[in-house]
Chain A
Amino acid sequence: MKKLILITLLVLFTGALVTGFAQSEKYLKNRIMLEGMYIRNLGNFGEVWSKAAGAYIGYSLAFPDHDLLMMRTGFISNSLKDGVEYQEATSTIIPLEIGERYYFIDSRFMPFVQFMNGINILFENTNLEGEKEDKTLVKYAWQVGFGITINLIENLNIDVGANYQSNFYKTEGMNTGFKYAFGIGLAL
């Protein structure tokens, strides 16, 4: 699997080298995006659910000359911390987010800062204290981060980014954490 990813990236990167650098066009365009993420949870929430993984799919609208309005949804699954023995405990999230990404420059390598917010629809069968209770919660979610978009070829790019999130869960255990994301975007 690792080899396949490596070969894919190499092909894309080589393609970018061969075809891309001669172009001087703008890269900031409307896109569809697919992102994978790993989250390191913090605080009291992180003492139970220490990490999470998931994926986003989204659509973004470009505004000249720096801005990208992003809308996305996805699926996030929290994992219990080692040593926490809650039986068959699950905690999953469907995020619905909207926000903005600000690109400092419009070029092949585009560093950015971004702010996303929206709601998390959270499904859990066990609360932080370990009591079994099926619950569906709708909570405000917020994150801010930075990263870089690399335009491999004219309409294809990859993103890497790091974000801090402070999502509502309960006062004694907010869903805070650092989120690391890797994505692929297709410009339309």
Chain B
Amino acid sequence: MDELVPTNFQKIHILIFVLLIFLSSGFCQEDGTKQTEPGQIALYSNYLLSSNTQSDLLGSGTMKSLAYKENFNNKWGTVNLPPEVMDDNFKPWESEKHFWVGAGEIAILEFIPWALARWIRHWEDPADNWAKVSSASWWRNISHGWEYDGDNFETNNFAHPYHGALFFNAGRTNGYDFWESTAWALTGSAIWEYFGETFRPAFNDWVYTGVGGVNLGEITYRLSSMVTDNTASGSDRFWSEVFGTLINPVRGVNRAISGEMGYNFPNPEWNRPDDFLLTFDAGTRTIDKNGDKEFRDKELEGLFSLRLAYGNPFKAKKPFEYFGLNLVVASGLPHMTQLNSTGYLFGWQLDKNKNRFDVNLDFNYNNLIKQEIAQGDTTYKGFLFGTTQLYPHLLSRFSIGEKTELITQVGINTILMGATPNDYYVDVEGRVYDFGPGIGTRVYASIQNGIWSYFNLLYYAAWIWTQTEPSDSKHHIHFLILEAQYPFTTYFAFGVSAGLYWRNSYYENFPDVSKNHPIIRVFFKTAIIDI
């Protein structure tokens, strides 16, 4: 009977299969896919590890969902209320700057986590309470300046950018534009670092919260605006406001206090992009955890990815008119294994719809470390890698057939803050890695036809100079990923991906270390929403 009981491995595959059948049948398009229009490209330039799609070119088909209504006539922003109900003279909250409301929201966003730590959280040793700030601690922080803190990877690479996104939106949803709102994120973070904790201000926190927060902040701002329909009423309106607030709580608060939540008025023209794509894929990944080139310690796990492409990189003119977001969850620990986003900042068109020079703001989170404790010793396997970076690059498109295109990207990784394992760093407060700035290169190529990327190649390299312990160490990090997809229906594909992560770390007073982690993925993929 035992052989009838599925193993964990089999369970993963059953779950994947059921999920994909459900998704592919539930969201499939009745009229098939349209021919790809020029420029309708969703480019995930920074999806490093599970990048089963570095670039997707999907067709049309409007899905019925909260944000996509049948009577929208396949276009975003179409009013679905009688004209007499609409108030075209309504002045939206964001049409004017509300400095003091934003400042008050920053104060609340600082106060809540501070108060929770100060009065609610239980401290075994009250002396550890970092929220017991005073004028003496403030002056000490001002006098001594920056340091690098001991927070773990998740805190630095996920919690801090999210906190920064809230700061950013205290400006963005109070009438400030993208660039002005970056000052809100950086200032909100600096206030916390200098005055919210007894610790010295952490430079890594400031970058992750301030710059990472800008990235996630503008993404949540645009997604929240997209799902919120000012022209809707009834339960549609209620749920659109609920989802909009969940995506961007600060915007939800401002819509509530301004009365916009209960008012019908036209949607802003920009809030629903011409191109929008949401895909889901599921499969398995095997990775060598030790990185010792003997490949004896493989780990097999289920992997589920949600990818979103908003806008078109060949059409973008304003910051984040194009962005990509990639969330990957693994069945193994840590479950939250990957979070990548890239957003267009500014650029120049060199050749219409063919070559562009763009600068993107990228945020990369790759956390595959598995902690293993044996007889008091802590060892860490797998790898981690995170960056907040700018990516100036040349983006090109070449026609290589009637419907087939080659998309390429060549650029420089300008890493403002990178995170990578440091083999001799002493674990403090859960941190098992080190920080530092860096620079590198990225080359990407994809052959696309219709909605599928038949072949993808990504090479990503970076030098990171870590700053804390031991000093004078540097790390050369590489990713190489090759991937192929084969569609066996118009909306359903099978894919294989093989990749390699390797790291050479150089230390001034310790032996150098070289790690090598092969990765193989097999997956099924489908499109959930495609406009």
Tell me the A residues contacting B by CB distance below 8 Å.
42-44, 46, 102, 115, 140, 144, 164, 166-168, 171, 174-176
Are B183 and A43 in touch, CB under 8 angstroms?
A: no
B429 to chain A: closest CB distance in Å? 16
A179 to chain B: closest CB distance in Å? 13
Are A176 and B183 in touch, CB under 8 angstroms?
A: no
10 A-B pairs with CB atoms under 8 Å apart are A42-B142, A42-B143, A42-B145, A43-B144, A44-B144, A102-B183, A164-B142, A167-B145, A174-B147, A176-B142
Q: Which residue of B lies closest to A63 (CB)?
A: B179
Are B143 and A171 in touch, CB under 8 angstroms?
A: no
A129 to chain B: closest CB distance in Å? 16
Partner of A171, one of B142, B147, B183: B147
Are A174 and B146 in touch, CB under 8 angstroms?
A: yes
B interface bracket (residues with beta carbon within 8 Å of A): 10 to 19
Q: Which residue of B lies closest to A166 (CB)?
A: B145
B96 to chain A: closest CB distance in Å? 15
Q: How many contacts A-B (CB < 8 Å)?
A: 33
A174 to chain B: closest CB distance in Å? 3
In the complex, what distance in Å separates the CA atom of A184 from the CA atom of B263?
Answer: 52
Are B183 and A174 in touch, CB under 8 angstroms?
A: no
A96 to chain B: closest CB distance in Å? 15
When distances are taken between beta carbons in the complex, the residues of chain A under 8 Å from B183 are 102, 115
In the complex, what distance in Å separates the CA atom of A42 from the CA atom of B338?
Answer: 41
Judge whether B468 is part of the interface by a CB distance below 8 angstroms: yes
Main secondary structure of the interface of A (DSSP, over half): strand
Q: Which residue of A lies closest to B186 (CB)?
A: A115
In the complex, what distance in Å separates the CA atom of A46 from the CA atom of B146?
Answer: 15
In the complex, what distance in Å separates the CA atom of A68 from the CA atom of B147?
Answer: 30
When distances are taken between beta carbons in the complex, the residues of chain A under 8 Å from B468 are 171
Interface residues of B in 133-169 (CB under 8 A from A): 142-148
When distances are taken between beta carbons in the complex, the residues of chain B under 8 Å from A44 are 144
Q: With A115-B183, A171-B468 given, is the CB distance from A176 to B143 under 8 Å?
A: yes
Q: Which residue of B lies closest to A67 (CB)?
A: B179
Are A43 and B147 in touch, CB under 8 angstroms?
A: no
In the complex, what distance in Å separates the CA atom of A167 from the CA atom of B147?
Answer: 11
When distances are taken between beta carbons in the complex, the residues of chain B under 8 Å from A164 are 142
Partner of B144, one of A140, A144, A167, A176: A176
When distances are taken between beta carbons in the complex, the residues of chain A under 8 Å from B146 are 166, 168, 174
A63 to chain B: closest CB distance in Å? 10
Q: Which residue of A lies closest to B139 (CB)?
A: A42
Are A174 and B144 in touch, CB under 8 angstroms?
A: yes
When distances are taken between beta carbons in the complex, the residues of chain B under 8 Å from A166 are 145-146, 201
Interface residues of B in 190-230 (CB under 8 A from A): 190, 201, 203
When distances are taken between beta carbons in the complex, the residues of chain A under 8 Å from B142 are 42, 164, 176
Q: Which residue of B lies closest to A113 (CB)?
A: B183
In the complex, what distance in Å separates the CA atom of A102 from the CA atom of B184?
Answer: 13
When distances are taken between beta carbons in the complex, the residues of chain A under 8 Å from B437 are 140
When distances are taken between beta carbons in the complex, the residues of chain A under 8 Å from B147 are 171, 174
Task: Apart from A171-B148, A175-B145, A176-B143, list 9 A-B contacts with CB within 8 A.
Answer: A42-B144, A42-B145, A102-B183, A115-B183, A140-B437, A164-B142, A174-B144, A174-B147, A176-B144
When distances are taken between beta carbons in the complex, the residues of chain B under 8 Å from A168 are 146, 203
Q: Which residue of B lies closest to A44 (CB)?
A: B144
Q: Which residue of A lies closest to B206 (CB)?
A: A142
When distances are taken between beta carbons in the complex, the residues of chain B under 8 Å from A174 are 144-147
Q: Mark B88-112, 1 if CB is under 8 A from A, else 0.
A: 0000000000000000000000000
In the complex, what distance in Å separates the CA atom of A144 from the CA atom of B142?
Answer: 12
In the complex, what distance in Å separates the CA atom of A175 from the CA atom of B148?
Answer: 15
Q: Which residue of B lies closest to A171 (CB)?
A: B147
In the complex, what distance in Å separates the CA atom of A178 from the CA atom of B201?
Answer: 17
In the complex, what distance in Å separates the CA atom of A167 from the CA atom of B203?
Answer: 11
In the complex, what distance in Å separates the CA atom of A167 from the CA atom of B183?
Answer: 19
In the complex, what distance in Å separates the CA atom of A171 from the CA atom of B466?
Answer: 13
B17 to chain A: closest CB distance in Å? 51
Of all A-B residue pairs in the complex, the 4 with the closest CB atoms, nearest first, are A174-B145, A166-B145, A176-B145, A43-B143
A163 to chain B: closest CB distance in Å? 13
Q: Which of A42, A164, A166, A176 has the most CB of B within 10 A?
A: A166
In the complex, what distance in Å separates the CA atom of A175 from the CA atom of B144?
Answer: 8
In the complex, what distance in Å separates the CA atom of A144 from the CA atom of B437?
Answer: 21
Q: Which residue of B lies closest to A100 (CB)?
A: B183
Partner of B143, one of A46, A115, A144: A46
In the complex, what distance in Å separates the CA atom of A171 from the CA atom of B142?
Answer: 14
When distances are taken between beta carbons in the complex, the residues of chain A under 8 Å from B143 are 42-43, 46, 176
B90 to chain A: closest CB distance in Å? 26
When distances are taken between beta carbons in the complex, the residues of chain B under 8 Å from A43 are 143-145
In the complex, what distance in Å separates the CA atom of A166 from the CA atom of B468?
Answer: 17
When distances are taken between beta carbons in the complex, the residues of chain A under 8 Å from B201 are 166
When distances are taken between beta carbons in the complex, the residues of chain B under 8 Å from A167 are 145
In the complex, what distance in Å separates the CA atom of A43 from the CA atom of B144?
Answer: 5
In the complex, what distance in Å separates the CA atom of A140 from the CA atom of B148?
Answer: 14
B264 to chain A: closest CB distance in Å? 33
When distances are taken between beta carbons in the complex, the residues of chain A under 8 Å from B148 are 171
A43 to chain B: closest CB distance in Å? 4
In the complex, what distance in Å separates the CA atom of A174 from the CA atom of B143?
Answer: 8
In the complex, what distance in Å separates the CA atom of A43 from the CA atom of B335?
Answer: 43
In the complex, what distance in Å separates the CA atom of A43 from the CA atom of B140?
Answer: 8
In the complex, what distance in Å separates the CA atom of A166 from the CA atom of B201?
Answer: 10
A173 to chain B: closest CB distance in Å? 8
In the complex, what distance in Å separates the CA atom of A171 from the CA atom of B200?
Answer: 10
In the complex, what distance in Å separates the CA atom of A102 from the CA atom of B468?
Answer: 34
B202 to chain A: closest CB distance in Å? 11
In the complex, what distance in Å separates the CA atom of A50 from the CA atom of B508?
Answer: 32
B330 to chain A: closest CB distance in Å? 35
